[in-house]
Chains A and B, each alone.
Chain A
């Protein structure tokens, strides 16, 4: 499979924050969620892809073109929704659309109209006069219809009401049906990640912890409620224990261990994604 974007060995220092080395490959048909604490470098990573921040080291390619090279044709291959936009306040939705749509050869005007209707966006009102939630919706309605192979979304649903979130997730899933597109998004909403993401790219304090396929990640953690005595020694992959509950990140080895040591459990239940992400991010801190 060919790739839409690639970051290899990229590093960037901003004041006392160091990001990288970052390695990531984005393939068509996939949705990747960037996950990490505040200040872990998620937004900076998106800016590197957009050439809005220059890496100190490493290469960044979109559609096989280096983003800091002289050939800027990659710019029509990617659309970016930042958390905050600058310079839009004085313009209405309609005017902004007139600015943006000619820049993208595959602009889908009917999708724009559909999103404006779906989100109830007043297109004649100045951007600056809209509420945070409506600004976010308009921003997205001006991003997704660009129909670029790669879409970068920075916290797309953070200010949205519950029904709009659902509509937006449904819309993105339909939009992805094409199969040749990819989305990279940051989100602190685990519902967004559960419904949309195929891969999780986990960052902590600027360091890449890893890329995980969502279902594989969820399947690799298990919590057990033990019957009777708790094992004296740590079990394989043990991450935490309290009362009768044990959490492991290697269930198979743990169960083999239980059998060898005549230990029994009353139930084994997977963790939800929020717990797994918390464990991934705290587990590392302690090391």
Chain B
């Protein structure tokens, strides 16, 4: 099976237009904005409107992925949506997406959840399914509209966005050269049933959680494929803040330039399940034929999925067929004050309807 070529045949991303700056949040809680800007390299983050959620962003990202390929939605045999903010606690998001893009009814669907790793999980499963010949194409989406508790450090980074990838065996834009998974049971971040905001282990989320899993996964996948950091044009790491992916890259021997294109977090915030998938989408927007790309996700709880992709000559033909990720980040942002942000995010207690 391994000699069957699989890869990304279509990709798309979606980022809400609304933003809030770290200074606006810090002002409300009397926090030190410069420390977030310098220390965590966070400038601003995307904010979903009341009418945007994981389902809506997933649909738009999926439609953009379809714009970049000639795949008929009816040939998409599987839809996997990874998120920790599925709109329903019980009722799938994947059915909404499959229905909206016209992939129903002969379609396998699953909602995935593994903190910030759920998106890459879908890509992992989808690629194996396609390689095994179960479906001609499979769609994997990472999307989140995560919330940090008001005043919590996570409030400065928890953002919204989605990236969608159609995996297939022909007309490949980025061939999948290698996959790898590394995980242990490490409770560094969680949200219990019925709780609105997540809890985290503070500084415990660093060394034993993010760095251990992400670095090990990265080293092992490079070793498995016989590649060294200099062999990669780009590296995309999970990005809970601006500091962590650069630090991880440095520890692995990557240059800043290899990380820049796929590191969206300073301007976008942490899109959780969307984070490394969105980073990959930004890299695909820029990659040249033959470029090798390392992508390693991280999800609290905890684990990392690693992927090595190789851009094909077809990629440059489709990059302009849908909105590019960095263009969405930079184009026409609408800055909210904290009051409007709280309104959009449902943080204001409203009257009961009648």
Question: Do these two chains really belong together in a complex?
Answer: no
Query: A: which residues have CB within 8 A of B?
Result: none
